[in-house]
Structure 1
Amino acid sequence: MNDDAPSEAQAPAEPDGGKTAPAEVGVGPWEGPLPAGEHWDPDLLADGDRRNVVDKYRYWKHEAIVADLDSKRHDFHIAIENWQHDLNIGTVVRTANAFLAKEVHIIGRRRWNRRGAMVTDRYQHVRHHPTVQDFVAWAQGEGLAIIGIDIFPDSVPLESYDLPRNCVLVFGQEGPGLTPEVHDAAVATLSIEQYGSTRSINAASAAAIAMHAWIRRHNFGQRVTG
C-alpha cells in the first residue's frame, strides 16, 4: 500500500485518464509591492502559492500557518483505532483539520495511509498511541472525557447527548468498530441515527458528523433537546 501523500499542488486525477490538463490550483506570484511581516514566505511570494489552503493563508510560511491555527484550536480531540491499516484515517485527519480539532490520535499501528488527508496532516497535530491502555492513560491524564462513537446495546443517540467541551471522540476500525477496551473506557458511547437499510456508515462519515455536532454545541450554542 502506498503511504505517500499527494503534494499540495497536485490536482485530483482527471476522469478522462489525463487527456484534459488539470485545473491550476492556487495563485501565481505576488503582484505589486511586497508585503511586510515575518509570516510571509519569500519563495511563495516570488513563485506563487499552489497549496490547498484558505485565502487567508496564501503566501504564508508553513510554520506561521500552524502557529496561527494553534492559537485558536478547539477543545475536542479525535482518536481512531488503526489495527488493520484503515483507509478512513486520512479522511478523518482532513476533516479534523477543517473543524480545527486540537489533535488527532492514532491508536495501534503507527503507519497510516495519508493519501486521504490531502496534505492536511502538515497542519494538524497527530499523536500516536501504541495501545488502548496508553491512549486511555493519556486522555485521563489530560482530563478529557472519552466518548466512543459506535453502535452498541448501551449506545445513546448523538443527537440527544450533550457533548462535553473537553473530550476526545473515538472511532473504531472500519468493520469491527470500537474494541471492547475502548468501549469499557468510554464515559459514553454514542450512535448516529440512521434511516436506511445499511447497518452503519463508515468511520470517516461518522467522524465528520460527530465533529460537526461538537461545533454546533460549543461554537453555535445549539443545545440538544429530548
Structure 2
Amino acid sequence: MNRRTTLPVVTAEPGPTEWGEPSYGVGPWADEHDAAPDDPRYDPELLAAGDRRNVVDRYRYWSRAAIVADLDARRHPFHVAIENFAHDANIGTVVRTANAFAAAAVHIVGRRRWNRRGAMVTDRYQHVHHHPDLAALAEYARAGGLTVVAVDNVPGSVPLETVRLPRASLLLFGQEGPGVSDAARAVAGLTVSIAQFGSTRSINAGVAAGIAMHTWVRQHADLDAAW
C-alpha cells in the first residue's frame, strides 16, 4: 500500500479526529477488504475501528511504533532547532513540517513546555529533544558532527538561495518577533537569510523553517523516495 493508492473515505459520523472532522480517514478493514492482514505492523484496534489519523496512506492501520520504526530507517541527516523563551506558538508548525520532510530530530531550546496544537499530533512520530540552553545544543551538535546553521535576516548573513547547506546541518530558528538571539548566532557556524521583497521586516518563524528545510531537501534528498 502506498500514498498513491486511492482508499475509500468513510462519510459516517465516527466521532472527532485529529483534524476535528469525523469524515477523515478510512473505516474498519473489514469494510474495505476481504481478510485481515497478518502483518505485525498493523494495529488490531485500528483494523477493527478504522484509521482516521493524520498519516499518509502507506501507514494506514499501522501501529505508532511501526510507523516510527519505518521513519527511523529513512530519516534525513538534518536536524531542526527552535528557541523557546516565550512559548512560541510556531513550534508546533515547525515540528509538523520537520515530520513532513523526515528530519532526524527537532530540538527545543529553553522552556520545555511548548504549544503542541500546531503539530497536529505529528510529534508522536517525530523525535523531539529538549535542551535547557544553547550551550547544551551546541555540545549536542559538536558531538554529532552537525553544523549549526542559524536562519535569520541579519547583517552578515549569507543568502539561503545561493548557499550550499551542509548535509549534516542543524537548522536553528529564533522565536517570532526577535528572531535568532545573539547567543544562537554565536554558536552557529553559518547564518543564512531568506530573500524578501515586501515591506515586512520578517516572515513567520514557522514559514521560515519550512523554506529552509525544503532548501535542504532540494539540495540533498533523494526526491524519488518522496511519497
Question: TM-score of the superposition, structure 2-length normalised?
Answer: 0.88
Determine if contact 1:85/1:113 at 8 Å carries over to the other structure: yes
2:47 maps to amino acid: L
> Which position in structure 2 is the counterpart of 1:24?
23
Would the aligned equivalents of 1:8 and 1:118 in 2 still touch at CA under 8 Å?
Answer: no
Contact 2:85/2:175 (8 A) holds in 1? yes
Aligned to 2:91: 89
Aligned-pair distance for 1:204?
Answer: 0.1
Tell me the CA shift for residue 199 of structure 1: 1.1
Is the 8 Å Cα contact of residues 163 and 214 (structure 1) preserved in structure 2? yes
Question: Matched residues, percent identical?
Answer: 59
Structure 1 gap segments, 5+ residues each: 1-6, 13-21, 222-226
Pairwise CA RMSD of aligned residues?
1.5
The correspondence of residues 59-208 of structure 1 with structure 2, limited to 5 A, is: 59-208=61-210
The answer to whether the 8 A contact 1:105-1:129 is kept is: yes
In 2, are the aligned partners of 1:85 and 1:109 still within 8 Å (CA)? yes
Runs of 4+ with deviation above 6 angstroms = none
Shift of 1:75: 0.6
Counterpart residue type for residue 159 of structure 1: E
Number of equivalent positions = 206
- How many angstroms does 1:167 deviate by? 0.8
Gap regions ≥5 residues in structure 2: 1-14
Q: State the AA in 2 paired with 1:108.
A: G
Is the Cα–Cα contact under 8 Å of residues 88 and 204 in structure 1 kept in the other structure? Answer: yes
Distance, in Å, in 1 between the alignment partners of 2:155 and 2:93 is: 28
Distance 1:10 1:72 in 2: 25
Provide the residue aligned with 1:58 in structure 2: 60
Q: CA deviation at 1:8?
A: 8.4
Please report how far the alpha carbon of residue 220 of structure 1 lies from its aligned counterpart in structure 2 after TM superposition: 5.5
Aligned residue among 3, 15, 18 for 1:10: 18
Between the aligned partners of 1:137 and 1:43, the Cα distance in structure 2 is 42
